[in-house]
Structure 1
């Protein structure tokens, strides 16, 4: 359980600089300064068309880009070896509960759908999903693992 949390944290830390750079560029592009140093106040009539609608479209675009990035990282990358970079560092792996099967793209995709898409649409679902492993028996699976038929295990050194 701790290893899974640390693996997720490591994945976030590895990609945080990219997201911070995007955030910084967005904020600095929005701030327009007058020659006297004061921040220019937008015309309330034009605020909707010039700022709010483009901002909402940009946010929607970022959400789509993040979902694509997360798909590539948590499905395409992870399904090849059963590990993301964080899981590899923590020496844990995603495997099917059924030992006769191998991890498929479909299993990794199901994990993604529950962990990220449902987590984005249902308030507090990410917390329920993550804490589920505390009382799940016998495999201590999160909900996304139960749905996909997978479990996260320690890898022998």
Structure 2
């Protein structure tokens, strides 16, 4: 098994992936609505629709990329990948989709979805020995470096 990925690389990879999905979704929604203000004041339907579209797009992107390549474009740029804990192989099939679902879909739940997401992504800061987030634990995966 390659060495575990540095947490900083994981964060930057997520930021890159967020931009890869967020910018096109934002532009498409701006074309549909005629303006770009996706979050509104948090009480209007536009913010809910934007969140739903973004989360579903990110889920499909993450699931497809992990099950086909073992890494997203952000992870590829940061030279990290997702590996099955037991074998080191990419998370093909259900494991990749379970990991993507646990990371993205809780965001749809108002209020507590964000809290779960926050706990999920922070989990790797205290988890030992594998530095797994909750979405890694669900799928039995780890994030490893692609370079020695």
TM-score relative to the length of structure 1 = 0.71
Deviation of the 1:64 alpha carbon: 4.9
Residues 1:11 and 2:30 are matched in the alignment: no
1:93 alignment partner, SS class: strand
Deviates more, 1:120-129 or 1:58-67: 58-67
Structure 1 ranges of 4+ moved more than 6 A = none
Residues 1:113 and 2:104 are matched in the alignment: no
Aligned counterparts of 1:156 and 1:67: Cα–Cα separation in 2? 30
Bigger relative contact order (CA 8 A; separation at least 6): 2
2:83 alignment partner, SS class: strand
Q: Which residue of 1 aligns with 2:8?
A: 2
Q: Which residue of 1 aligns with 2:67?
A: 79
Deviates more, 1:20-29 or 1:6-15: 20-29
Aligned counterparts of 2:124 and 2:137: Cα–Cα separation in 1? 10
Higher-Rg structure is 1
1:124 alignment partner, SS class: helix
2:86 alignment partner, SS class: coil
Aligned counterparts of 2:102 and 2:56: Cα–Cα separation in 1? 15
CA RMSD of aligned residues (A): 2.5
Q: Give unpaired runs (5+ residues) of structure 2.
A: 1-6, 37-43
Deviation of the 1:125 alpha carbon: 1.1
Aligned residues: 131
2:20 alignment partner, SS class: helix
Is the 1:76–1:105 contact (alpha carbons within 8 Å) kept by the matching residues of 2?
A: no
Aligned counterparts of 1:68 and 1:16: Cα–Cα separation in 2? 11
TM-score relative to the length of structure 2 = 0.75
Deviation of the 1:9 alpha carbon: 0.5
Larger proportion of helix: 1
Report the CA distance shift for 1:123/1:148 in structure 2 as closer, same or farther (over 3 A). same
Deviation of the 1:17 alpha carbon: 2.9
**Per-residue displacement from partner, 1:102-128 (whole Å, max 9, x unpaired)?**
522201111122111124323411110
Aligned counterparts of 2:35 and 2:74: Cα–Cα separation in 1? 31
Is the 1:111–1:145 contact (alpha carbons within 8 Å) kept by the matching residues of 2?
A: yes
